[in-house]
Each structure stands twice: as structure tokens, then as C-alpha cells.
Structure 1
Amino acid sequence: MPDLPRIITVEDGVARIVWSADLPSRWQQEIAGVRSLVEEALRAHHRVEAKVDVEDADGQRLATWSGLRREGVERGRTGDRVVYARLADDPPLDQPGGFRALLNSFLPRKRAIGQMLIRDADATEPRVLLCQLTYKSDWDLPGGVVEVNESPRLAVTREIEEELGLTVPAGPLLLTDWLPPWGGWDDAVGLVFDGGVLPGSTLDRAVLEPREIRAVAFCTAAEVEARAADFTARRVAAALAALDGGPRYTESGR
């Protein structure tokens, strides 16, 4: 492959920018040239793309700062490649909307999980509401993943309505708990909101979503330890401590 980057047409209306293996090491010097190729390709194509090995950090920088948005990872037998592309009708990079869209395509995005700490108003010792989930063996606080562009506070209330049939408005944020990568999951941020205290009889009117929830129960500290994963038990303990002025930020409950 020649040293200089070049354009090839891969299908009708779609061009691809390709370069030699050593070019990305000079990515800062090559940005202007590759950007010019992108503009040239878009005069005759509706899409121009580049595919860069996932281990090629310099190649990814070259693709990004040449104006190509990161779209995702293409998995394959010979290795995974990051796909970058620009469409003919994308806003120009010299406009705020175009530049923001470029940044938004590659800046990190963390998964957010909204959960709620609900206590039993009738218990003589602290008991918190836990859910037995259908897709894992351990129990967890009620809540779930925050959808794209959704408020975490609204998300946890929505999840409880969908999965338990209960309307429990989220109170103040008690705890922010960072969750490191684990078991195939990327890292995430857990946000535990105060759900206040509810009568134990509240669970009598809960309507469980059968695809998600097997059972619900108010659990003592000992029951939390027995039923929940260790990091969940630590998070519950940290959230309870936060009610009394304890730390409001933890990492895996610590």
C-alpha cells in the first residue's frame, strides 16, 4: 500500500480512506491531508469512512481529527476495527454543532445505574427493600439502567413503577458509587437515591414484572449480606451510613 493516504470506493456512494501502517505515527502532520481527502471524497460520495485497528491509538486520533465520527467497533476473524465515518450532510466542523457532534462520538460515556434505598417503617431494626432478579442469582436494590438522555432521578422512579408496580418518588441523592469493570461489564456509576420509609404492607400491593423480578423483601443487614453480592452489600451499608452523614462517594461500596 502506498505511503500516502488514498480514497477507494467500496460500494455505490461509499468511499474509504486507507493509509499505510506507518502513517498514523505521523498523525499530527497528516491531519490536514486526510481531512482534504475526506472533503474530496464527499463531493462524489454520500459517505466516507475509515476502519482502524482497535489497538492503533494513533490511527484513531488521525481518523478523529480528520473529521470522521466514531461509529462503533466492527468485530471480525482477523481482529476488531473501529469504524469512523462522515456523511455529506453532517454539519461542517467549523460550526459548533458539527464540532460538538465529533467530540460526542468519541468522548467516554459511562453507564449510569439508578437505585433506591427504601426502608421498612415497621421494623424494629433497619430493613431495606431488595429485589430477587430473574437474570442473576444475587439480590439487589430496586432500580435499573438510566436510558440515554434520561434523568437518573426519573429513571429510578420509572424502573420501580415498571418492575414493582409501585410509585415511589426519588428523594435526595444519598450515594454515588463507582463500579469497576466486572464480569464482562464496563465500568459504571451507581446513583442511590433516598426512597424514604414505607410500611411493610406496601409489598402486598406490589405487582412484579415477571421477566425481571422473582421476589421482593425487606431485608435486615444479615439478610443483605447473605442474599446480595459483596459489592451490593457494601453499597447498601454505605447508603445507610450516608443517611447519618457518612461518605457520599464510594468505589465498589468502599
Structure 2
Amino acid sequence: MSPTSADPDAWNAYLAEGNAKQARKRVAADVLLRDPLGRILLVNPTYKPGWDLPGGMAEANEPPEEAVKRELREELGREINLLGLLVVDWVAPHGPWDDQIAFIFNGGTLHDGEALRPHDHELSEARFVPLKEAPGLVGDRMWPRLEAAMKALREGRPVYLRDGAPPW
């Protein structure tokens, strides 16, 4: 027989046991930032090939929107206000990695973005680029997400992807 909420200690132990058995997901959170010319901000990570959108991995129990704000503070010394969600992408297991959930948030337009410089060792460069140059810079997993983020901006609604593609 399962414990009930009438016995809070037994109930919490029962729930904790169930929680311990649940799958854990890695969470990535990136942001789409543009300049007044419509170019997008890309960063060049030092720990992997290819350019990327600014952002990174969420820490344990950290909401994705807070993760991307923290990453921008740490890596670019920048505080931002997010304007909404653009993309959610379930990324299948690949290489040594389990699956993950990847978010892209709308960071709007930066009017003073030319002053952006990496603030830690994880980035070697940050620059605004025209969207048409992005496919040659970003990785194969990022490009479909970035395209979907631009679609979400145009259509005014978030896009869900399954491993970089619409599932329906």
C-alpha cells in the first residue's frame, strides 16, 4: 500500500523515491540577440568547434531563462531582459551525450552591442553576423534551431522541434 498525504514524512519519502528513479534531462538555453541592422550575435566557444548563439547549459534545478541570463553575465558581462520563448528542441542522444532539451529565447535588439567582448575563457570572440553567413559558422545541430528561431520571430509564436526538425 502506498503512503498518503495524511502521513507527511512517509509521503515525502515515497515521492523522493519516485523522483530518484525519474529520468534527468540536460537543459541548454541560448538567446537570439540582434543589432539594429538585423544581424545576429554569435559567439565562438573555445571548447568546441563552430560558432554558437550565446548561452549554455543550465545548472541543477536552474530554470532555462535564468540559465541564459547567467551565461550572458558570465561570458559577455551583459544583463538582458528576455522577450519570450522562440524554440524548444528535444535533442536525441548523440556521441557520449544523453538527450537534452534546448531552448532559444528572444533577447531583442541590442543598440550598443559593438562593445560586447568575452569575459571568460569559454569564448574567444563575439560578433554580429548577417543571417546568411550563419550556416557556414554554426554547427549542424544549431543551424536548424536558429532557422526555427527566425521563423518564430516572423510568425510570433514559439516553434517545437524534435532533434532539429518539426515532428509534425
Report the TM-score when normalising by structure 1: 0.59
What residue is the counterpart of 2:3 in the other structure? none
What residue is the counterpart of 2:4 in the other structure? none
Q: Deviations over 1:136-169 (max 9, x none)?
A: 1111111111111112111111110100011112
Amino acid at match of 2:102: G
What residue is the counterpart of 2:47 in the other structure? 135
What residue is the counterpart of 1:59 in the other structure? none
Distance 2:17 2:53 in 1: 37
* Candidates 42, 58, 71, aligned match of 1:146: 58
Distance 2:84 2:13 in 1: 36
Consecutive unaligned residues of structure 1, counting only runs of 5 or more, are: 1-91
Instruction: Give how far 1:93 is off.
Output: 10
1:172 and 2:87 aligned: no
1:161 and 2:73 aligned: yes
Instruction: Give how far 1:221 is off.
Output: 2.2
- Identify the structure with bigger relative contact order (alpha carbons < 8 Å, sequence gap 6+): 2
What residue is the counterpart of 1:243 in the other structure? 153
Amino acid at match of 1:163: E
Instruction: Give how far 1:107 is off.
Output: 0.6
Check whether the contact 1:156–1:170 (CA below 8 A) recurs between aligned residues.
no
Check whether the contact 2:75–2:123 (CA below 8 A) recurs between aligned residues.
yes
1:225 and 2:135 aligned: yes
Distance 2:40 2:163 in 1: 19
* Aligned pairs (5 A) from 1:50-129: 95-121=10-36, 123=37, 126-129=38-41
Check whether the contact 1:168–1:195 (CA below 8 A) recurs between aligned residues.
yes
Corresponding residue SS for 2:105: strand
Distance 2:158 2:164 in 1: 10
Root-mean-square deviation (CA), in Å?
A: 2.0
Report the TM-score when normalising by structure 2: 0.87
Instruction: Give how far 1:210 is off.
Output: 3.4
Check whether the contact 1:235–1:252 (CA below 8 A) recurs between aligned residues.
no
Check whether the contact 1:154–1:170 (CA below 8 A) recurs between aligned residues.
no
What residue is the counterpart of 1:181 in the other structure? 93
Q: Deviations over 1:99-148 (max 9, x none)?
A: 11101111111111111011111x1xx32111100001111111111111
Instruction: Give how far 1:176 is off.
Output: 0.5
Distance 1:221 1:208 in 2: 21
Distance 1:182 1:127 in 2: 30
